[in-house]
Amino acid sequence: MNKLRYQVAAPWLTARRVINNFKGRPPASAFRILMLHDIPAVQIMAFERFLEDLKVSRKILSPEEAELLLDGAPPEHPANDWGSLPVLISFDDGFVSNFGVAAKCLAGHGVKALFFVCPELVDLEGEAQARAIASNIFRGNLDWRQISEDRRLMTWSELGELRAMGHTVGAHGMGHQRLSDLTGEALAREISGAGARIEEELKARVDWYAFAFGNIDSIHGDALALISNYYKYCRSGIRGVNSEATGRYALLADQIEADLPDTYLDLVLEGGLDGRYRQSAGQLSRMLE
């Protein structure tokens, strides 16, 4: 299936660029959020090239710059082309590979990013953590014995170093639970408990939340209401463009992998997949109405 997508990416991208030319100018505050996960060693060079290409084609926002856009501040670099919108880079789950990427790749390019972590999983070690990763993150689709040391999660010490590098640490749920499966105290613990635990360890306010799994079936109105009571921003995994007009608790993101074919990455960055997610994006934005 992926091979077919990559094969049709070139004509699909050509069509998308024609559409973008007829859309008029984007909002000045428009930007995209990119969502990545584990970056294994074999993908580091691809990620480095990806960063280099991004810097040439568009502005890479820091979390603070994205927050200013969402809060209505005049953009320092106004968006003027749907095909080259600024981007904010984010990483989910807190894999230790992210620490290496931050120290080597991001630092080398002066890029600041968002890292979403699950404190209950960070607190675990060894086999206990591997079992939790297999169960909670991979939902049993990966045997815990396949989770090697280089696929562990960042420690609190490493997360502290990440903050010292200038990056932002956000909450990804207490234990990476699907919020739509939770109610009552369990829901509150998964949402507000995550931020409280991170703040306890890192001694810094947590403003960002990204709900686990990210799709529209993994969230409900009660969960989003609780998120809005504790955090300033909530990022989903639903594709699309963000701007000042986007609800701060209905932020959209494009999941990517560093080693995707260039044409397919361009298709994602230029909005070629947005249409498939427009209904879900609308549902999410209406949950707090």
CA 206 to CA 191: how far, in whole Å? 12
Q: The tokens of 154 are what?
A: 């960042």
Angle at 254 between CA 250 and CA 282, to 5 degrees: 35
Q: For residue 219, what is the DSSP state? A: -
CA 162 to CA 95: how far, in whole Å? 12
User: Domain-by-domain residue ranges, the chain?
Assistant: 2-286
CA 67 to CA 118: how far, in whole Å? 22
Q: Which residue has the tokens 């689709």?
A: 141
pLDDT at 1 over 60: no
pLDDT at 126 over 60: yes
The per-residue pLDDT for range 53-71, each reduced to its tens digit, is 999 999 999 999 999 999 9
- Determine which helix (DSSP H) or strand (DSSP E) holds 160, and give its type and residue range: helix 156-164
With pLDDT > 90 as the criterion, what percentage of the chain qualifies? Answer: 90
| Crossing angle (nearest 10°) for helices 44-57 and 262-269 | 50
What's the pLDDT at 145? 85
CATH class of 2-286: alpha beta
Q: pTM higher than 0.85 for the full model?
A: yes
Whether 178 contacts 120, CB under 8 Å = no
CA 123 to CA 113: how far, in whole Å? 23
